[in-house]
Amino acid sequence: MIRLVIGHRGKLVRGALAAVLDKEPDLAVLAEYESADEILAVCAEDPGLVVVLDPLLPGKLGVPELCERLDGRPILMLIDRDDTTSIPLALSVAKESESVGVIATDISPDDLVDAVRGVAEGRPVLDGGLALVALRAGGSPLTEREREVLVLIDTGATVQEVARSLSLSTGTIRNYLSRILSKTRARSRIEAIRKAQNAGWI
């Protein structure tokens, strides 16, 4: 029996994944979690678990650090093909660990089940289409100025302080932040910083 835990931001997605996987006679979903810290804690208690993981799972731990600390345990990361932030991150983690598989969220339920079995058995699982998307996406979508703004915001600086530091108006800084949120598909500055750090853009 392959025992699974699911870590994903979305409650609805977690439930749907659990419903699909739990139907299989050789798979058992033990729990669903919404933070990387919870995943680390449960895996520390039970080293035999397979983890189905959202690469942008929130928590004090970043997903790369989580995967490193899980120390070679089977992990399957689920990626949205349109999310150019998480694709490079997931592929980078998979490159560092043979136990990490990467697939797209638009695969069929049967393919999802096969991918889970694959990582559990130690077979390489990689969606070639995602690798192609990453190659086409190239490097960071942020301009050098946008990167500077985000780095300063990460220090705790206010919009006014960033504007003074860069000799720009507060309106210009707000425009930069709006573009940064759009490019990183983030809902907040904190999420934009985390995504950019995880992708190696800042």
Per-residue DSSP letter, 41: H
Q: Could you read off the pLDDT of 43-97 as tens digits, one per residue?
A: 988 888 999 999 888 888 888 888 888 878 899 999 887 776 677 778 778 877 7
Q: Are residues 76 and 121 located together in one domain of the fold?
A: yes
- The number of distinct structural domains making up the chain is 2
Q: Are residues 151 and 181 located together in one domain of the fold?
A: yes
Range of the domain at 112: 2-137
Residues of the chain scoring pLDDT < 50: none
Which DSSP helix (H) or strand (E) runs through 33? strand 27-33
Identify the pLDDT of residue 80: 84
Amino acid occupying residue 28: A
Q: Are residues 8 and 97 located together in one domain of the fold?
A: yes
Identify the pLDDT of residue 119: 95
The answer to whether the CB of 67 falls within 8 A of the CB of 97 is yes
Q: Are residues 151 and 117 located together in one domain of the fold?
A: no
Backbone φ and ψ for 184, nearest 5 degrees, come out as -90, -5
* Residues 6+ away with beta carbon under 8 Å from 41: none
CA distances from 140 to 92, 135, 163, 182 (A): 14, 12, 23, 13
Q: Are residues 62 and 126 located together in one domain of the fold?
A: yes
Structure tokens at 46: 């039970």
The answer to whether the CB of 183 falls within 8 A of the CB of 137 is no
Task: Write the DSSP assignment of 79-130 as a string of letters.
Answer: E-TT-TTHHHHHHHHHHH-TTEEEEETTS-HHHHHHHHHHHHTT---B-HHH
Q: Are residues 86 and 165 located together in one domain of the fold?
A: no
Q: What is the pTM of this model?
A: 0.69
Q: Are residues 47 and 118 located together in one domain of the fold?
A: yes
Q: Are residues 132 and 83 located together in one domain of the fold?
A: yes
CA–CA dist 95, 73 (Å, integer): 14
CA–CA dist 100, 73 (Å, integer): 8
Q: Are residues 66 and 14 located together in one domain of the fold?
A: yes
